[in-house]
Amino acid sequence: MKKIDEYQGKKVLVMGFGISGINAAHLLVKLGANVTANDKATPKNNDIVDDLEADGIKVITGDNPISLANEGFDVVVKNPGIPYDNPLVAAFVKQGTTIITEAELGWQIFDGHLVSVTGSNGKTTTTTLTQLMIAENAKHQVKYAGNIGISFSKIAEDLGPDDTLVTELSSFQLLGVPTIHPHIAIITNIFSNHLDYHKTRENYINAKLNITRNQTKDDFLVINWDRDEWQKIAQRSQATIVPFSRLNKSHEGSYVEDGMIYWRGQEVMPTKDIRLIGPQNVENALAAIAAAKLSGVTNDAIKKVLTTFSGVRHRLQYVMEYQERLFYNDSKSTDIEATEVALQGFDRPVILLAGGLDRGYTFERLVPYFKKHVKAMIVFGECKDKMKDAGNQAGVPVVESENAITAVPEAWKLSEPGDVILLSPANASWDQFPSFEVRGDKFIEAVEELTGKKEQ
């Protein structure tokens, strides 16, 4: 951990009691700040408040009182999920108060080698693969943190100048990281996500590009080269561009040719040996390989990771095989693009479990994928009628169910040996579950109850 004094004696407000917010509050006390912690909700667990108060932190819960804007805070550390049009946040913006996210605080105390990953899809898998590959050859610590569910600042406290940290950063986090400077930045892809938060696609792209804002030509931006738009976006960075591509050969980076992965013209391994299924995971592997090779990782280390790693939970996660049916949990597929990609990963008939929060869009885009890959569909949630319409357009049998749990036995009734039973909802979970993680866990529990087996 790097010693810094810029918070000594400063008055800091931490907004949000998530894992990152709580860790940030305690860290700021260590850095000499006068800390107030605020959450709009009242925690069900009193231990959270007790621990904060025991550290000398003033705690305010149950509201974001606008009066806090008049208390002279020098810095606000904001939970990334709190929008900038929140009345209290908007008041601080108007005042010109410095507003950062916990990732910026983590960067300020970090003293090692930083690799940062962002993108619309594939962030967590790419982050995990990159960390595993670098760790295979490393003599020092290699950790991951960030949007992957582990506080950046908490991990950074325990790392030294020779250590490496691979961070997953969301567009929300990247709006509050004015000084972050990864030596290697990765952009997996950019679709049109979170426009309810960012308002426009250009705002969303600009947020993603904050990952490379402070990079120079001595740094590297690893970016997907499979769309013209992404190639143009890359030109807005000052870093050395390192492309990765499943579709376009480029000797400047990692690419696929005739079923073989290459790094700058040199063979690495066949794509068929990657344990993760689907074209999206070939892209994730290519991005991780580029970052790993730039970090000095050997081909043997890369092969070891890619031939053994079976996936991140809820992200096209293999659950089990039972009576010649394969179960996969892809609850993280909360948008149409992710489900498109998931379906393309299978060469077996798929019984698809899909549906969830109605965000106002329809699913005609999925019709060609349903026709090609889907044997039957079980639909649920607020948007089940729209999902059913797309299934009917594709000529796929559709059964309605209550949710992702009750859909499991319905899917089993329709299945035959050789089929894949896939939860890939194409929608957020919030109409029925508090998170995609809970939805995926409940799906796995339903599979375990059906089969009498534990996930593998």
**Residues in Cβ contact with 83 at an 8 Å cutoff, skipping those fewer than 6 apart:** 89, 197
User: Where in the chain is CATH 3.90.190.20?
Assistant: 317-451
Buried b vs exposed e over 318-340: b needs ≥16 C-beta within 10 Å? bbbebeebbbbbbbbbbbbbbbb
Distance CA 191, CA 204 (A): 9
Closest CA relative to residue 352, chosen from 401, 296, 313, 280:
401
Q: Locate 249 and state its tokens.
A: 């050969």
Question: Which residue's entry shows tokens 């280390």?
Answer: 301
The reported pTM is 0.83
Check residue 416 and report its DSSP letter: -
Q: Which CATH topology does 317-451 take? A: Protein-Tyrosine Phosphatase; Chain A (3.90.190)
User: Where in the chain is CATH 3.40.50.720?
Assistant: 11-100
Pairing of strands 184-187, 220-224: parallel
Distance CA 453, CA 322 (A): 8
Per-residue pLDDT of the chain (456 residues; tens, 9 = 90+): 999 999 999 999 999 998 999 999 999 999 999 999 999 999 887 899 999 999 999 999 999 999 999 999 999 999 999 999 999 999 999 999 999 999 999 999 999 999 999 999 899 999 999 999 999 989 999 999 999 889 999 999 999 999 999 999 999 999 999 999 999 999 999 988 788 889 899 999 999 999 999 999 999 999 999 999 999 999 999 999 999 999 988 889 999 999 999 999 999 999 999 999 888 899 999 999 999 999 999 999 999 999 999 888 898 898 999 999 999 999 999 999 889 989 998 989 999 999 999 989 899 999 999 999 999 999 999 999 999 999 999 999 999 999 999 999 999 999 999 999 999 999 999 999 999 999 999 999 999 999 999 987
**Residues in Cβ contact with 120 at an 8 Å cutoff, skipping those fewer than 6 apart:** 188, 189, 190, 191, 192, 193, 335, 337
Pick the CATH number of 104-308 from 3.40.1190.10, 3.90.700.10, 3.40.50.410, 1.20.1530.20: 3.40.1190.10
User: Where in the chain is CATH 3.40.1190.10?
Assistant: 104-308
CATH of the domain spanning 11-100: 3.40.50.720
CB 343: neighbour CB atoms within 10 A?
24
